[in-house]
Chains A and B, each alone.
Chain A
Amino acid sequence: MLLIHCPVCAMDRPECEFRHAGEAHVARPADPNAATDEEWASYLYHRSNPKGVIAERWRHVHGCGRYFNALRNTVSDRILVTYRSGQPRSEGTP
């Protein structure tokens, strides 16, 4: 079980308080009517699924209830840094 630092609560809490919410920084097409099928497929389904560092969303469902982002190494499962939603992808330093 991971120990995750919630940047909103500013606390380290066990994984079972959180819900994983998929890859971060996947932007919905700005103009849905103009988006092509390829753009929709990319937004809805295609994922980078890296073997290495991923930016992902978590939600502190049994805490503050807020979404936030984390950088995690998918080989070691070590979380490098967590940061608030809306911020650009972190460079990796807490």
Chain B
Amino acid sequence: MTKFSLLGLIRHAFGGPWPAQWSAASPKPRYDAIIVGGGGHGLATAWYLGSEHGLTNIAVLEKGWLGGGNTGRNTTILRSNYLWPESQGLYEHSLKLWESLSNALNYNVMYSPRGVLLLAHNHHDIQVARRHIHANRLSGIDNEWLTPEQAKDFCPLLNTSKNIRYPILGAALQRRGGTARHDAVAWGFARAASALGVDIIENCEVTGIDRDATGAVAGVQTTRGAIRTTRLGVSAAGHSSVLMAMAGVRMPLESYPLQALVSEPVKPAMPCVVMSNTIHAYMSQSDKGEMVIGAGTDAYNSYSQTGGLHISTHTLEAICELFPRVRRLRMLRNWGGIVDVTPDRSPIVGTTPVPGLFVNCGWGTGGFKATPGAGHVFAHTIATGAPHPINAAFTLDRFRTGRLIDEAAAAAVAH
């Protein structure tokens, strides 16, 4: 792997194509560990397994192409302003890793801490936002309250008029929140993992999970043949229920289409990320200039990777009211990703009833922000066979014990 540097950039400007950034591997008969799912989470897990735990005889199996699932379909928002201590620990761990990720990977993931503004439109919103701010500050996580005027100063595009249907009464701002380039995250992890000797195998769909006489994982069946392993990490987002069913494990998950849209590219106008859960709209501007807009999930579970038009229409109506100056922008693309949602809207990262089978799922509508943190603690879980203190509470068993991490009712923010 050639290290990226200013000198290298200048040299390549004068000729010669860039080499492939990771090798296209073919499946070997046996690996020490296999990760199912070549999105950001799976690739990050592979890299941390190699770089922190010395496990390099491992493979990442991806049924399509790298980062072609939710990694390439999300709205790239990063933040850690969650309510409960368990969530704060996990998401803040991730946000800290984002801050140094480009250096760690020698790959520019374009982490941009431009600030995430969460709008309050009614009395309840104000109470919830301020409760979050207090909870975050007690945990050492930055979050602050802005008046409508201060919010307008921070994001001049905002319509802070009092004469709209849902006037802005204030906002919570996490300045360290922001965005990152989603494709670069998958590519950066893939490149760094490949350099350590990890096999990254695309177009390889897992069709079955083999178990030995004791019930432990013995390998997987794939569209490219059988592969043996004793440690299997499932990191398959919307398809987690399907994969876990291959090992006979029923999951507390339902998969929904979540939509996003981008506009035609325009000059820089939107300095930060704005989220409004109450009227369900969020928007930021990509470095290419497109307005990136997140909509909601459909009401029913589905694997269609598309969503109802009335869902995105609802969001665009809210966007037009909040940002009247973007009303005449045309939307270039609209797509859906399949997100796996848990009953308490918190992820599941840990062991399963099947020995050798580990799962990282249930990130719902907000898994991108957790990519490095989830990969880091999931790698620890796979390598040592026990969870890291940071993901210890995010067990599959919590739905039996009742120790839920209820961000569904508590957060009142789109995840």
Using a CB–CB cutoff of 8 Å, the interface residues on chain A facing chain B are: 1-2, 15-16, 19-20, 22-23, 37-38, 40-42, 44-51, 54, 56, 72, 74-77
Say yes or no: A45 contacts B303, CB within 8 Å: no
Known: A19-B299, A46-B399, A49-B255. 9 other contacts (CB 8 A): A16-B310, A40-B400, A45-B399, A47-B252, A47-B253, A49-B242, A49-B253, A74-B255, A76-B304
Identify B250's interface contact among A37, A46, A76, CB under 8 A.
A46
| Residues on the A chain within 8 Å of B241, using CB | 47-51
Instruction: For the complex, give the distance between the alpha carbons of A76 and B252 in Å.
Output: 23
- In the complex where A41-B400, A45-B343 touch, is A51 in contact with B310 (Cβ < 8 A)? no
Instruction: Report whether B304 and A41 are in contact in the complex, using a CB–CB cutoff of 8 Å.
Output: no
Q: Answer whether residue B163 sits at the interface, using C-beta atoms and an 8 A cutoff.
A: no
List, in ascending order, chain A residues with CB within 8 A of B400's CB: 37-38, 40-41
Are B301 and A49 touching (Cβ within 8 A)?
Answer: yes
B301 touches A15 (CB 8 A): no
**Does B108 interact with chain A (Cβ within 8 Å)?**
no
Q: What are 27 A-B pairs at a CB distance below 8 A?
A: A1-B308, A1-B310, A2-B308, A15-B310, A19-B299, A23-B254, A37-B402, A40-B400, A41-B399, A41-B400, A44-B343, A45-B252, A46-B251, A46-B252, A47-B241, A47-B251, A47-B253, A48-B250, A49-B242, A49-B251, A49-B301, A50-B241, A51-B241, A51-B242, A56-B301, A72-B300, A76-B304
What residues on A are CB-neighbors of B304 within 8 Å?
74-77
Indicate the member of B299, B301, B310 with the most A CB atoms within 10 Å.
Answer: B301
B residues near A, CB below 8 A? 239, 241-242, 250-255, 299-304, 308-310, 340, 343, 399-402
Contact of B309 with A51 in the complex, beta carbons under 8 Å: no
Given the interface pairs A41-B252, A49-B251, the reply to whether A74 lies near B308 with Cβ below 8 Å is no
Please tell me which one of the listed residues B254, B399, B401 contacts residue A49 in the complex, with CB atoms under 8 A apart.
B254
Which residue of chain B has its CB nearest to the CB of A45?
Answer: B252
Task: Determine the distance from Cα of A22 to Cα of B399 in the docked complex, in whole angstroms.
Answer: 18
Residue from B241, B300, B310 with most neighbouring chain A CB atoms (10 Å): B300
Minimum distance in angstroms from B97 CB to a CB of chain A: 30
Least CB distance from B24 to A in Å reads 27
A45 to B254: give the CA distance in the assembly, Å.
Answer: 10
Tally of A-B Cβ pairs under 8 angstroms: 70
Do the beta carbons of B308 and A51 come within 8 Å of each other? no
Q: How far is the CA of A35 from the CA of B251 in the complex (A)?
A: 19
Name the residue in A19, A42, A44, A74 with the highest tally of chain B Cβ atoms < 10 Å from its Cβ: A74
Closest to B313 in A: A1
| Bound complex: CA A75 to CA B253 (Å) | 17
Q: Which residues of A sit under 8 angstroms from B300, Cβ to Cβ?
A: 2, 20, 56, 72, 77
Give the shortest distance, in Å, between B300 (CB) and chain A (any CB): 4
Whole-angstrom distance between the alpha carbons of A56 and B299 in the complex? 12
Q: In the assembled complex, which residues on chain A have CB atoms less than 8 Å from the CB atom of B251? A: 46-47, 49
Q: Give the complex CA separation of A50 and B302 in angstroms.
A: 9
Nearest CB in chain A to that of B253: its residue: A49
Closest chain-A Cβ to B412's Cβ sits at a distance in Å of: 21
Question: CA A44 – CA B250 in complex, angstroms?
Answer: 13
Complex: A42 Cα to B252 Cα, angstroms: 8
Which of A15, A40, A45, A75 contacts B308 (CB under 8 A)? A15
**A54 and B252 contacting across the interface, CB-CB below 8 Å:** no
List the B side residues contacting A16 at CB < 8 Å. Answer: 310
Cα separation A51 to B310 with both chains bound (whole Å) = 23
Min CB gap B316→A, angstroms: 15
- Taking CB atoms, residues of chain A closer than 8 Å to B310 are 1, 15-16
> Which residue of the partner chain A has the closest CB to B239?
A51
A37 and B303 CA atoms in complex are apart in Å by 30
Given contacts A44-B343, A46-B399, contact A75 B299 (CB under 8 A): no
Q: Whole-angstrom distance from the CB of A30 to the nearest CB of chain B?
A: 20
- What distance in Å separates the Cβ of A1 from its nearest Cβ neighbour in chain B? 5
- Cα of A75 to Cα of B305 in the assembled complex, Å: 8
- Give Cα distance in the complex from A77 to B205, angstroms: 23
Q: Which residues of B contact A48 (CB under 8 A)?
A: 241, 250
CB-CB under 8 A from A37, the residues of chain B are: 400-402
Contact between B301 and A54, CB atoms less than 8 A apart: yes
| Contact A47–B254 (Cβ < 8 Å) | yes
Residues of A within 8 A of B401 (CB): 37
Interface centre among A2, A23, A38, A49, by most chain B C-beta atoms within 10 angstroms, is A49
CA distance A1 to B309 in the complex (A): 7
